[in-house]
Structure 1
């Protein structure tokens, strides 16, 4: 069995009612420590008008963190494409890739990322935008392949990086796996927020993957919720203090979490896990990420 690789997924929570400025400072601190501890990637989510979450623009936070780190890959988990122009997304992530060569991931999602009125205020008819998602994805891929045309006239999403961003789609079911396969992107299965176990979604993705200029072979990650502490009792105590239900979380000491991840890896066939730690205390959250790497990396 392949060795396990670990990456970080951060929702940029505002624990205990702290100001947005504090939550963003904690995001930077987590990213810097994650690089030191050996995590492969730091991905940040996008949400709109959701109380207690402080990041509405992953690309801005990624740029800020990129200037404070050296190696760790930086990504969106996810950028919500139905809200945006494909050209603007391509330009932004091309620019990030020029600033931080070989370090930028573009994770794409289809969810609204917030309540209905916020979605309408942001981009109008969100349901129609989701219906248009295939054409938006097609345009986005063409921009990254430098093959986009408007009325038969070439349009280029500048600046052009030497090393383009790595593109992934995030999802929670078989439909999303097939979608990622159709467009030849990597696929991240959201285990922690899915009603499904992931086997069928990942199988559909691998079976139907279409190679393209940006990716020749299928590649997968599994996003899992983890609460890790020095002891199982402490880990369950942390889980009990969480403000939202987290029944799909892996909870325990480092040895138990290692065993749980190995079982998931065996069932799902992935080598990389994107770790979300829903612990409602910043220091305990840092400790959870640190303990994971001491056991696994």
Structure 2
């Protein structure tokens, strides 16, 4: 029996150990193709800048690459950090992607810069975050060709014209994203892996505030979670250790590759890891396949989400592929 909720993947395309960006991107294509065969609904990639630990910075190029390498799975951005871009350009890019891959493109929007302050300034040459509502309104009008008759952009067309715009989602890890989605009648995606304590209340608030729109008649929410499934306890600990080390390095201002499997296994044997492991399990759903699947089902039930997105904390290709296979089986995904 198919899962009662669709399951998708968010892939940071993070470089692991000594792998090169080219190798990492090739591995990402392999994961996307496997995800399609297993019945995952969407395959999303984010936007980050000034980060040598990631194999790409151009979200739209990665989407095009993954969509061309697959046939049915939806591919998209989670998301485009709109303050970094001109709304017209985003509309043109995603209309082009939709024209090439009709019915398969998702456009997730974020308000954060996806980088440090200096890099954000280099990208946008100003502070546009407080104008997010205006930027989003322009983007929607470009995508749907519905500027008012007296608007100065009424004569500007975001070519190419396509039969339908990409699906639009609003991302968030605080109250802002779900509330913006509710007021504007959009789907809301909440990052449990970033703010686990807020997920339930934020999505409850979204449903209570939702206003139907031309984009969406009823509220639709998606929750994301860090998830790794394996029958090998040491590999489970390596996945937890990888995310722990990633967070520690970010706090130190380090933006290099994630730990290799061997590095993570070594750290998982330390007293420091053992002292922090239990607390980390509040954020990372890691363990035996049946245990992880049960926790994910409970998260979806608690948040009343319509869909689930999983994020794999481990970069090692073999265990990562096996984890997605385990989750697909345990969650009864069907093609």
Could you say whether these structures have the same fold, taking a TM-score greater than 0.5 normalized by the shorter chain as the test?
A: yes
Deviation of 1:232 (Å): 4.6
Deviation of 1:155 (Å): 2.0
1:16 and 1:138 mapped to 2: Cα distance? 42
Deviation of 1:93 (Å): 0.6
2:6 and 2:191 mapped to 1: Cα distance? 16
**CA distance 1:154–1:216, change in 2 (3 Å):** farther
Corresponding residue number in structure 2 for 1:244: 246
Corresponding residue number in structure 2 for 1:272: 307
1:184–1:209 CA contact under 8 A, matched in 2: yes
SS at match of 2:158: coil
2:28 and 2:328 mapped to 1: Cα distance? 18
2:56 and 2:81 mapped to 1: Cα distance? 13
TM-score (normalizing by structure 2) = 0.84
Deviation of 1:227 (Å): 1.5
User: Which segments of 5 or more consecutive residues in structure 2 lack a partner in the other structure?
Assistant: 248-279
* Count of residue correspondences: 294
SS at match of 1:221: strand
SS at match of 1:188: strand
Task: Say whether residues 1:261 and 2:296 are aligned partners.
Answer: yes
Task: Say whether residues 1:139 and 2:174 are aligned partners.
Answer: no
2:109–2:171 CA contact under 8 A, matched in 1: yes
Corresponding residue number in structure 2 for 1:292: 327
- 1:119-165 C-alpha deviation (Å, 9 max, x unpaired): 1111112xx21011010011111112211364264322111211220
2:220–2:306 CA contact under 8 A, matched in 1: no
SS at match of 2:193: helix
Deviation of 1:257 (Å): 1.0
Task: For CA contacts below 8 A with separation 6 or more, give which structure has more relative contact order.
Answer: 2
Which has the larger displacement, 136-145 or 72-81? 136-145
Corresponding residue number in structure 2 for 1:200: 201
Deviation of 1:195 (Å): 5.2
SS at match of 2:309: strand
- 1:73-93 C-alpha deviation (Å, 9 max, x unpaired): 001011110010111101111
Larger Rg: 2
Corresponding residue number in structure 2 for 1:130: 129
- 1:145-188 C-alpha deviation (Å, 9 max, x unpaired): 21136426432211121122000011012222111112221100
- 1:72-123 C-alpha deviation (Å, 9 max, x unpaired): 0001011110010111101111111111111010001111111222111111
1:94 and 1:65 mapped to 2: Cα distance? 16
1:105–1:167 CA contact under 8 A, matched in 2: yes
Runs of 4+ in 1 over 6 A off after TM superposition: none
SS at match of 1:206: helix
Which has the larger displacement, 35-44 or 113-122? 113-122
Instruction: Report 1:168-207 matches (<5 A).
Output: 168-194=169-195, 196-207=197-208
1:17 and 1:130 mapped to 2: Cα distance? 36
Corresponding residue number in structure 1 for 2:147: 148
Which has the larger displacement, 146-155 or 114-123? 146-155
1:145–1:214 CA contact under 8 A, matched in 2: no
**CA distance 1:295–1:183, change in 2 (3 Å):** same
Which has the larger displacement, 263-272 or 192-201? 192-201
TM-score (normalizing by structure 1) = 0.94
